[in-house]
């Protein structure tokens, strides 16, 4: 491929990425530090939720000549350009060849601080940071230097930034129309701790004289004073309260997810849900907590499969869940009846997930093998994750093709989306079939991981050039095999659950009907409507 062709491909990739993220989407992210993970991995997650069609991306490493430029694209074409660096690193979606990974959630914050004149938005910053940084700390510098020079175009953003040794949370917001640069603060998560963020600013007070663990823009406080957002006489500076003043709607929408992650990570803390219910004087949740036990990658994946089951907010139990306990709630999330405003719960696992990753960065394993990008599409409760090593040279075709406008059995997103939507017909029963196959697939993937990596380690000693070939073939074959297995599951569900019957292994239909607890509610609501009066009278006579 010529250098000109490569540059064209890079620009196209940025356009696709921007098109996917041209609007703010509700997301959930978890950060697990090295000392909090079971195997010494640094783990971050990114559930990107929104009604758009995701495509897995791969940006090869490349050398560039002086004068080469990166075109910054928008919906209406080219918005500007910035100089290329001499060498850009390979990036697999949102993790690079040095195991640096970046995720995000949007907190919006003060709407007047969006700068339409800024050149770079948050998805572009994420890709550029990964292409130009070998560590999380370097990524923070790359991203903040870029917005300082070219301007920041998005609203308030929380970034998870990890490498194989450290994990950071960085929050950034613009200066408003005509302003310069961005306002930001970045904190290193202490080793042994777990952090979570979900569409609400999480950084409160922070140290001003600890550059090893806290970095910030020089105007982070002075700008707030200038705008009248903060009065130093009223107490210590708190980033989240100043730039993202909490509202009832946002707290219930966002803090509930953080609470549910933390309640499962550290049950011993017995964290109250009061703050997430906007109870007066309830304290916000800490930015990070120590887990009761160290977390594996599978533990972290499980945290994203959550509808508040087992709590007072359990979405499988209320009336809207229907007779079969379906946790999905159809949008809009806020709605009115008789002039009064209401809202549904916003779970961690939702049908609006477009894609989700759980990145695994390991200092104990060479870069050629250490970075694993566990990737899924659609609802994590009803999907499976595939491992993708950062060394691979191509990506599974099914994860990079398709569109919202045309159903396709060749598309990974449609594969998962079909099963998830069909399950809503009789969720309580179908979810058991889905989770059985989900566990079967992920058991095998995690069971094979040590053997796959042992083979790759041997190749590292004997024939290093075969590592990308070996890992690419494994990752692509695994993805395709498991997608075929998922379509077999889909065919089973269609056959087994048909016309209100449940068919057994021999194909015989059974009239299972509705759960008794739901029937009681229906009878209570309409005590006379469904009564067979003739049989009732006969019983009275007896």
Boundary-marking domain end, from 470, 488, 503: 503
Give residue 539's pLDDT.
54
> How many Å apart are CA 166 and CA 161, to the nearest integer?
8
Q: Do the Cβ atoms of 36 and 294 come closer than 8 Å? A: yes
Q: Is 196 within the bounds of a domain? A: yes
> How many Å apart are CA 542 and CA 525, to the nearest integer?
28
Long-range pairs, 438-445, Cβ under 8 A, ≥24: 438/382, 438/383, 438/384, 440/485, 441/384, 441/482, 441/485, 442/298, 442/301, 442/384, 442/385, 445/385, 445/386, 445/387, 445/478
Boundary-marking domain end, from 472, 487, 503: 503
| Residues with Cβ within 8 Å of residue 95, at least 6 apart in sequence | 101, 102, 130, 357, 359, 361, 371, 373, 390
Residues of the chain with pLDDT under 70: 1-25, 534-542
Q: Is 70 within the bounds of a domain? A: yes
Q: For the chain, how many structural domains are there in total?
A: 2
Give residue 532's pLDDT.
83
> How many Å apart are CA 388 and CA 357, to the nearest integer?
10
Q: Is 514 within the bounds of a domain? A: no
46 and 149 co-located in one domain: yes
191 and 82 co-located in one domain: yes
Give residue 15's pLDDT.
40
The pLDDT tens digits for 417-472 are 999 999 999 999 999 999 999 999 999 999 999 999 999 999 999 999 999 999 99
379 and 289 co-located in one domain: no
Domain coverage including residue 378 = 365-503
230 and 376 co-located in one domain: no
Q: Is 530 within the bounds of a domain? A: no
Q: Is 142 within the bounds of a domain? A: yes
Please calculate the CA angle 96-97-101 and round it to the nearest 5 degrees.
Answer: 30
Give residue 92's pLDDT.
98
384 and 452 co-located in one domain: yes
DSSP 312: T
385 and 289 co-located in one domain: no
- Reported in sequence order, the residue ranges of 50-199 that DSSP labels E, i.e. its strands, are 58-59, 62-63, 69-74, 77-83, 87-88, 91-92, 95-96, 101-108, 156-162, 167-173, 183-188, 194-197
Give residue 75's pLDDT.
79
The pLDDT tens digits for 88-137 are 999 999 999 999 999 999 999 999 999 999 999 999 999 999 999 999 99
> Backbone phi, then psi, for 74, in 5-degree steps?
-130, 180
Handedness of CA 475, 481, 482, 484 (dihedral sign): positive
| Residues with Cβ within 8 Å of residue 511, at least 6 apart in sequence | 500, 501
282 and 370 co-located in one domain: no
> How many Å apart are CA 169 and CA 150, to the nearest integer?
22
> How many Å apart are CA 5 and CA 27, to the nearest integer?
34
Q: Which two tokens stand for residue 502?
A: 């449940």
Residue positions counted in the chain: 542
Q: Is 231 within the bounds of a domain? A: yes
Count of CB atoms situated within 10 Å of the CB of 297: 24
Give residue 23's pLDDT.
44
- The crossing angle, in degrees rounded to 10, of helices 136-150 and 122-132 is 130
* Nearest residue to 44 via CA among 375, 359, 355, 265: 359
Q: Is the previous residue joined to 523 through a cis bond, with omega within 30 degrees of 0? A: no
Q: Do the Cβ atoms of 256 and 197 come closer than 8 Å? A: no
The pLDDT tens digits for 293-310 are 999 999 999 999 999 999
194 and 296 co-located in one domain: yes
| Residues with Cβ within 8 Å of residue 368, at least 6 apart in sequence | 391, 456, 460, 464, 467, 468
238 to each of 187, 206, 232, 471, how far by Cα in Å?
Answer: 13, 8, 10, 46
pTM of structure: 0.94
Give residue 537's pLDDT.
55
Q: Is 134 within the bounds of a domain? A: yes
Distance of CA 113 to the CA centre of its chain: 25
Q: Is 239 within the bounds of a domain? A: yes
288 and 418 co-located in one domain: no
> How many Å apart are CA 17 and CA 26, to the nearest integer?
16
DSSP 261: H
- As a whole number, the mean pLDDT across the chain is 93
Q: Do the Cβ atoms of 358 and 384 come closer than 8 Å? A: no
271 and 378 co-located in one domain: no
Residue appearing with tokens 């950062």: 390
* Nearest residue to 161 via CA among 119, 113, 215: 215
301 and 372 co-located in one domain: no
55 and 125 co-located in one domain: yes
Instruction: Classify each residue of 56-72 as buried b or exposed e, where b means 16 or more C-beta atoms within 10 Å of its C-beta.
Output: bbbbeebebeeeeebbb
């Amino acid at each position: 491929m010529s250098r000109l062709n490569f540059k064209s491909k890079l620009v196209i990739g940025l356009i696709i990425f921007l098109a996917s993220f041209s609007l703010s989407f509700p997301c959930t992210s978890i950060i697990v530090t090295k000392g909090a993970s079971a195997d010494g991995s640094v783990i971050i997650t990114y559930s990107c939720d929104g009604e758009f069609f995701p495509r897995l991306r791969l940006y090869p490493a490349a050398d560039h000549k002086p004068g080469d430029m990166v075109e910054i694209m928008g919906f209406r074409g080219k918005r500007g350009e910035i100089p290329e660096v001499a060498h850009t690193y390979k990036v697999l979606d949102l993790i690079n060849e040095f195991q640096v990974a970046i995720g995000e959630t949007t907190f919006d914050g003060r709407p007047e601080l969006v700068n339409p004149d800024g050149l770079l938005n948050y998805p572009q910053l994420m890709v550029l940071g990964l292409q130009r940084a070998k560590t999380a700390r370097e990524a923070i510098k790359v991203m903040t230097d870029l917005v300082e020079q070219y301007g920041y175009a998005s609203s308030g953003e929380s970034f998870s930034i990890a490498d194989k040794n450290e994990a950071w949370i960085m929050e950034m917001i613009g200066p408003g129309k005509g302003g310069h640069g961005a306002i930001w603060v970045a904190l290193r998560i202490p080793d042994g701790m777990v952090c979570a963020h979900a569409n609400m600013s999480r950084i409160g007070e922070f140290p001003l004289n600890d550059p090893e663990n806290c970095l910030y823009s020089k105007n982070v406080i002075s700008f707030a004073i200038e705008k009248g957002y903060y009065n130093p006489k009223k107490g210590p500076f708190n980033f989240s309260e100043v730039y993202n003043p909490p509202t009832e709607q946002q707290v219930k929408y966002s803090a509930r997810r953080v609470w549910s992650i933390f309640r499962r990570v550290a049950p011993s803390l017995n964290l109250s849900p009061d703050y997430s219910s906007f109870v007066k004087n309830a304290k916000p949740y800490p930015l990070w907590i120590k887990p009761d036990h160290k977390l594996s990658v599978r533990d972290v994946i499980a945290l994203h499969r959550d509808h508040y089951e087992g709590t007072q907010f359990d979405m499988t139990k209320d009336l809207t869940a229907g007779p079969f306990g379906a946790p999905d709630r159809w949008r809009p999330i806020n709605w009115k009846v008789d002039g009064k405003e209401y809202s549904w719960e916003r779970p961690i696992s939702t049908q609006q997930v477009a894609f989700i990753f759980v990145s695994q960065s390991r200092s104990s394993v060479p870069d050629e093998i250490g970075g694993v990008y566990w990737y899924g599409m659609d609802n994590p409760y009803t999907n499976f994750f595939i491992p993708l090593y950062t060394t691979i040279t191509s990506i599974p075709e099914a994860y990079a093709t398709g569109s919202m406008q045309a159903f396709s059995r060749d598309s990974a997103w449609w594969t998962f989306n079909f099963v998830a939507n069909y399950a809503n017909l009789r969720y309580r029963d179908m979810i058991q079939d889905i989770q059985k196959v989900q566990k079967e697939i992920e058991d095998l993937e995690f069971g094979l991981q040590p053997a796959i990596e042992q083979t790759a380690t041997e190749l590292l000693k004997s024939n290093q050039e075969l590592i990308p070939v070996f890992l690419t073939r494994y990752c692509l074959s695994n993805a395709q095999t498991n997608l075929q297995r998922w379509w077999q599951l889909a065919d089973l569900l269609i056959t087994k659950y048909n016309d209100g019957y449940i068919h057994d292994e021999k194909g015989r239909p059974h009239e299972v009907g509705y759960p008794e607890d739901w029937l009681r509610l229906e009878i209570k609501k309409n005590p006379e409507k469904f009564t067979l009066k003739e049989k009732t009278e006969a019983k009275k006579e007896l």
